[in-house]
Structure 1
Amino acid sequence: MNSADAATGRGPVWLPANQPTQFYAGGGAIEALRGTGKARTEFGPEDWVASTTPRYGKQTDGMTKLADGQWLRDAVRAHPENWLGRAHSDRFGADPAVLVKLLDAGQRLPVHCHPSDAFAQAHMGSHFGKTEAWIIVGTPGEGGSVHIGFQEDLSSTTVADWVAEQDTAAMLSALNPVTVRPGDTVFVPAGLPHAIGAGVFIVELQQPTDLSVTLEWKDFLDSEAGGHLGFGYDVVLDCVDRSGWDADRLRSIVRHAEDASPVTDLLGPDAAGFFRAQRIRGGATLDASFSILVALEGSGTLRTEHGEVAVNKGDTYVFPYAAGPSAVDGDLVAIRCLPPEVSQ
């Protein structure tokens, strides 16, 4: 596809790795997936795929640049109906309303959470908060460790004291330890405190912001201000979900979706208002939609109304709405990430 077609959103666009520097280590699993020499591993644990979202406090860092040098964000703004479809554009404007990352935790991530839409709008000047979801694609050994939600109801004073004292042991022991394996998915509502363990490799979908309230900032961030994003912990701790999450509640957000069907819905209806994800295989037929494709295994061909593209393990593509419906051939296994559900 020529650069003009790519920029105007008339066909699929292959994307190279896009790894902004982070505060934590990782990136080896991204390099292994994409192939030697295609990714950066020193403090490059996140690959922001088809990103129109910059890192917090930055102008363009984290955003995707097309082959012609144009930011994907600007291309979408110039041709929103081509890229996103009319119904999505009518609801969200020229914003895909989703951010997709490959995240390879080379070390345990700190305990943190993210604000809701309402909190972000009221306190942070952002239309979107940051509900997210994890599709587990790699773990060490027999499984990886994540920590999700407090085991019991906690007072605001207790949480504030832990943060003020940077009591890591208390924070971690208060969270539910959960073992995850490839094929599992975790839906993480805004406000839910969590930490991802070392060696867990995920495809992450989230609302298009970089808003994180880091409860455990010591030994991770340069300063306390980074933990509260400059708003103060007296403000941002109000976004933390301090309710208890028992086994039944956890089962509602941690799922196993191993399925050999051509198309498998991975996240279910609770996530559909924020983003959607499918595991696709050869034989799949796909509707027209803005989508981000991450190829995990094998190889194949995606045939669209305007031609076909070869997809191999490690490839990432962005598909505009105007590419139309498509069909998948071959032994390809991929994750197809989609924006919030709207009626076209």
Structure 2
Amino acid sequence: MSTVHNDQTGPASVIALPSNQPRQFYRGGASIAALRGGGDDQKFGPEDWVASTTTRFGQAESGLSRLPDGRWLRDAVTADPDSWLGAEHVAAFGDSTALLVKLLDAGQRLPVHCHPSDAFARQHLGSRFGKTEAWIVIGTSGANPVVYLGFRDDVAPEVVAEWVATQDSSAMLGSLNEIRVRPGDTVHVPAGTPHAIGEGVFIVELQQPTDFSITLEWQGFLADAEGAFLGLDQRTALETLNRSGFDDSVLNSLIKRTADEVAPRVPLLAEDAAPFFRADRLHGTVELEPSFGVLVVLDGSGKLRSGGVDLPLHRGSTAVVPHSAGATQLEGDLTVVHCRPPGAGSPR
């Protein structure tokens, strides 16, 4: 692993990071292993939490990324937030990166679930952040790679409550919009939206920095209902669910098809995602403005130049870029997903 070490007071440059795959309840991991060039196809390693300062729900350390000097990235950021995040970001979001990036390889269909809004998280979970997310499809396999997003039609609260109480999986899944996807497609998933990811879909996932999920379809995925609702009762948990139908106009506002765009910088996400996170696909030589960021290299090889120091990059590399690295430049035959938190002035 190539690294550029940081000192104990602040990050000096960009830092390459190894895989970080906390155990999950569903299968996957082969696509992550193939991307990174490793041979470890973990049966339950379907998520790689990249540059994570977020723990799994209810856990003290699981999910956190460790820096080459042995510290948790979370602790390094907390110790010197201005260097890592920049003064404007700190003024807006404190010492939170306001971002969680994952590689997610669905080795089986994920359950129907949703995530709480900021307002719900503040009221019931003691958190500033809920969990809006977005998916950047980087690979697919199988005959019908699909995702599921939002109810097709409005659904009454008592109907949803009955589906969940009886664990009527066919009704829940059948009520959602089924969307076929291919690499280059992106999907914005506002908090509260019922959704699922189909088997064989491999994504870079951007999220608000929490691990909050309301699992409507828990049977066959979780051991029991206790872990499905974040410690809340079912009625309270379902208050965050958006029961409105998503018609074509709504879906078109959330989904982008970018596979055929080959500019040096391709904005990937729907406009509504901007208050939560930013992501671009970068090709070849591109200059990056100062910002905390996460890089996922999809293809090729090259380097990231930062303050006269070069970090070698290749297919499968992941790296964290501190704000204090200043303006950096990608060079070489690279295709990279560049993930950033929202701008400090992004309205919410």
SS at match of 2:273: coil
Match in the other structure for 1:145:
146
Aligned-pair distance for 1:94? 1.0
Using a 3 Å threshold, how does the CA distance of structure 1 residues 135 and 300 change in structure 2: closer, same or farther? same
Structure 2 distance, partners of 1:127, 1:143, is 38
CA shift digits 1:239-268 (9 cap, x unpaired): 000000111111110111231111111114
Q: For the aligned residues, what is the CA RMSD?
A: 1.5
Match in the other structure for 2:182:
181
Q: Which amino acid aligns with 1:96?
A: T
Structure 1 distance, partners of 2:211, 2:166, is 25
Structure 2 distance, partners of 1:252, 1:312, is 33
Aligned-pair distance for 1:40? 4.8
The TM-score normalised by the length of structure 1 is: 0.97
Structure 1 distance, partners of 2:270, 2:150, is 20
Match in the other structure for 2:106:
105
Structure 2 distance, partners of 1:14, 1:73, is 16
Contact 2:256 2:270 in 1 (8 A): no
Match in the other structure for 1:236:
237
CA shift digits 1:12-71 (9 cap, x unpaired): 11100000000000000000000123x452201000000000000001100001122211
Match in the other structure for 2:294:
292
SS at match of 2:282: strand
Select between 134-143 and 155-164 the one with higher mean Cα deviation. 134-143
SS at match of 1:248: helix
Select between 65-74 and 162-171 the one with higher mean Cα deviation. 65-74
Unpaired runs of at least 5, structure 1: none
CA shift digits 1:135-176 (9 cap, x unpaired): 000111565111110010011000000000000010011001
Match in the other structure for 1:257:
258
After the TM superposition, which residues 16-31 of structure 1 pair with which residues of structure 2 at under 5 Å, given as runs? 16-31=18-33
Match in the other structure for 1:127:
128
Using a 3 Å threshold, how does the CA distance of structure 1 residues 138 and 9 change in structure 2: closer, same or farther? same
After the TM superposition, which residues 1-344 of structure 1 pair with which residues of structure 2 at under 5 Å, given as runs? 3-5=5-7, 8-37=10-39, 39-141=40-142, 144-258=145-259, 259-342=261-344
Using a 3 Å threshold, how does the CA distance of structure 1 residues 288 and 123 change in structure 2: closer, same or farther? same
Unpaired runs of at least 5, structure 2: none
Using a 3 Å threshold, how does the CA distance of structure 1 residues 207 and 66 change in structure 2: closer, same or farther? same
Contact 1:143 1:181 in 2 (8 A): no
Using a 3 Å threshold, how does the CA distance of structure 1 residues 312 and 143 change in structure 2: closer, same or farther? farther
Contact 1:147 1:175 in 2 (8 A): yes
Aligned length: 343
Q: Which amino acid aligns with 2:89?
A: H
Contact 1:19 1:40 in 2 (8 A): no
The TM-score normalised by the length of structure 2 is: 0.96
Contact 1:142 1:181 in 2 (8 A): no
Using a 3 Å threshold, how does the CA distance of structure 1 residues 17 and 6 change in structure 2: closer, same or farther? farther
Contact 1:138 1:200 in 2 (8 A): yes
Contact 2:4 2:14 in 1 (8 A): no
